[in-house]
Amino acid sequence: MNTTKYFEALHQRPDRTDIEEEWIETVARYPLKEATQQDGRIRRWGLIPEASNRYLRVILLPDGETVHNAFFDRRFTP
């Protein structure tokens, strides 16, 4: 999985260490929903049953492969 330095720094925060790389890869490959931001970055959401059925948002760079951010999105509604 390709990541940015920004992601590597954020993934070390205590509130993000419980997000498994497998979940990030799954959401990136098989999103429930996808949207493109004005800057070209791609937002993808997926349901993570193992995390109390929370929705994970994964932000990819415009290449569609490099992970820039990943977090549980409390405001997402399918």
- 65 is written with which tokens? 């492969």
pLDDT band at 70 (very low <50, low <70, confident <90, very high): very high
Q: Where are the domains of the chain?
A: 5-72
Q: What is the pTM of this model?
A: 0.93
Residues 12-53 have pLDDT tens digits of: 999 898 999 999 999 999 999 999 999 999 999 999 999 999
| pLDDT of res. 18 | 93
With a cut of 90, say whether residue 72 has pLDDT above it: yes
Antiparallel, parallel or unpaired: β 42-48 and 33-36? antiparallel
pLDDT band at 71 (very low <50, low <70, confident <90, very high): very high
C-alpha to C-alpha distance for 34 and 43, rounded to whole angstroms: 6
